[in-house]
Structure 1
């Protein structure tokens, strides 16, 4: 058992759990190397370790152990599903939707997205991510606690190893002789965005995700963005940004009405919005041979307000109603006949 480094939580429980998982695939417990963030995990090689060619960082997709751990979880899930039986089937479907699927979507829009996209981090290893994701663990735990499904002692022990690892750390990268383990973030900022309570990364005034070593990620309503989008979203920077999603987030950070004024966009035309009675459509000239349609959301936000937002449309459109129809794949006449949109 490795000596617990200062500042890392639940290291003893984690080492015992992962060591148990290694034994389940027929390997001796590895040496553990703790790091403060996922970035540190893939950018450094533990002292004294000479990774096999098949376990080099640039060949993560070819690592052999993640596939073995993925097979391990697939086999366990198959066994646990067999214990559910017909009497618990309706409860299983409810728990799958409200627990497993909801947690999976939340994880995809928070930690998985951060690992994959932030700073070009080469985090792939789809199999090991799915094995470590808390959603499937919570699913079977809820089946046992809420629905009363009984698992065998051996199944409970194996599920418990995965649960103990999930409670004790962030992601971990299993090699044959050494396992690199990342701490969890010290700060996570999210917003609710789904019907079943799903969350996604969002913070309008700082990093949405931050680790102890300073590695951080900025996000705007679930979209990973450069820090300037949150800290200094200037008009000139927006005009130079090639990524349309980053531009959109930066403009929303400023506010569409404010951006239009500060950028000096020329008003082309206005019209009542037939799909949203009482609201007005405003069409503006924009650079790059495009125009922007400023509209009001048809549905009420969680704070009770109707959000004003902009949509980029082709530069040949001169009629705001035609531009609104274009965003739905409709003509101006067809859009005018729509019931209230959302």
Structure 2
């Protein structure tokens, strides 16, 4: 396993890590930064529980946040060292080869967790702003994987302790007197593009019940996923929220919806059949139906439904668009 593969695995790890290893690394990170060790290390089951613990009236005295000394300063020093050795072009190439792709995957999850914590914590605008500031105190643990994959993390190197902690925990909050560590999620589900995605329950869940629901990256209410199991064409047609209606159509299947909604073809030629679904408050869904000319092993020919731009007017133009061509350029020798 390469270093990048290892950090990709860490970024998506679920279940509890080794608390003994994590706590020892936390204390060592304070010592490396020239700070006194925290008086206590406290665990939470999720970032939401950590925030509630820190916001509670009975919260322990924390002292000042030391994130700058423990994370930002050593990370900036490592970045400057690598940049100085490789130069601007070399550093850019190094980043593309190490952390860039992983950054894109983790950044969206981090944003969703922050938004989910603020929403779940509730309160008025003043309280929500206070929670936003509190979330900025957090070191992201496993979700710092992109940066940690790009720099030195071996024993003795500046980011070694940060890497050990990230391998065992989720987000954590470092203060002078206390460090609050949250466990990793218990569930994580993504689609092939790396987006949070689950039609059967939470896409991201923690042991305390804090959970995020999503369909192909789009946040959805938990009860909405329950409704997907009893969908009908009429229910889809009457949904007023355009974004949720798109999710319904994807889950239900465009071909099934076309069949059950009584849609009619608007154009037909030798390349296929063009269908249009008119939706209130949203752009029309236009699909081209094509039949694979290469038979399946059982001798049947499979039908495919391809979504095309809403201004498509002919089946040929729709098929051509899927190949990045104009209708007048599309002249297949053999249609597949």
CA distance in 2, matches of 1:281, 1:323: 9
Paired residues of 2:99 and 2:147 also in contact (CA < 8 A): yes
Which residue does the alignment assign to 2:105? Answer: 106
Residue 217 in structure 1 maps to residue 215 in structure 2: no
Unaligned 5+ segments in structure 1 are 1-6, 56-62, 145-150, 194-198, 298-304, 329-333
Partner of residue 70 from structure 1, selected from 69, 72, 75: 72
Partner of residue 199 from structure 2, selected from 200, 204, 209: 204
CA distance in 2, matches of 1:130, 1:184: 9
TM-score relative to the length of structure 2: 0.66
CA distance in 2, matches of 1:171, 1:318: 47
Which residue does the alignment assign to 1:16? Answer: 24
Which residue does the alignment assign to 2:173? Answer: 173
Paired residues of 1:17 and 1:165 also in contact (CA < 8 A): yes
Q: 1:265, CA displacement in angstroms?
A: 6.4
- What does 1:71-220 correspond to in 2, within 5 Å? 71-82=73-84, 93=93, 96-109=95-108, 111-118=109-116, 120=119, 125=136, 128-129=139-140, 133-141=144-152, 154=156, 156=157, 158-193=158-193, 199-220=194-215
CA distance in 1, matches of 2:139, 2:237: 37
Paired residues of 1:100 and 1:138 also in contact (CA < 8 A): yes
Paired residues of 2:16 and 2:168 also in contact (CA < 8 A): no
Paired residues of 1:36 and 1:211 also in contact (CA < 8 A): yes
User: Structure 1 residues 126 and 280, CA, compared in 2 at 3 Å: closer, same or farther?
Assistant: farther
Partner of residue 269 from structure 1, selected from 266, 277, 286: 266
Which residue does the alignment assign to 1:294? Answer: 287
Partner of residue 246 from structure 1, selected from 244, 247, 250: 244
User: Structure 1 residues 289 and 339, CA, compared in 2 at 3 Å: closer, same or farther?
Assistant: same
Give the match's secondary structure for 2:42: strand
- What whole-Å deviation, never above 9, does each CA across 1:272-322 have from its counterpart, x for those lacking one? 5xxxx834331122222642212469xxxxxxx997465785xxx694679
- What whole-Å deviation, never above 9, does each CA across 1:100-120 have from its counterpart, x for those lacking one? 1122122124x3243134363
Paired residues of 1:271 and 1:282 also in contact (CA < 8 A): no
Which residue does the alignment assign to 2:327? Answer: 336
Q: 1:24, CA displacement in angstroms?
A: 4.4
CA distance in 2, matches of 1:38, 1:130: 11
User: Structure 1 residues 258 and 125, CA, compared in 2 at 3 Å: closer, same or farther?
Assistant: farther
Give the match's secondary structure for 1:133: helix
TM-score relative to the length of structure 1: 0.65
Aligned length: 284
Give the match's secondary structure for 2:98: helix
Give the match's secondary structure for 1:173: strand
Q: 1:168, CA displacement in angstroms?
A: 1.1
Paired residues of 2:286 and 2:312 also in contact (CA < 8 A): no
Q: 1:337, CA displacement in angstroms?
A: 3.8
Residue 49 in structure 1 maps to residue 54 in structure 2: no
Does 1 or 2 have the higher relative contact order (CA < 8 Å, sep 6+)? Answer: 2
CA distance in 1, matches of 2:329, 2:175: 57
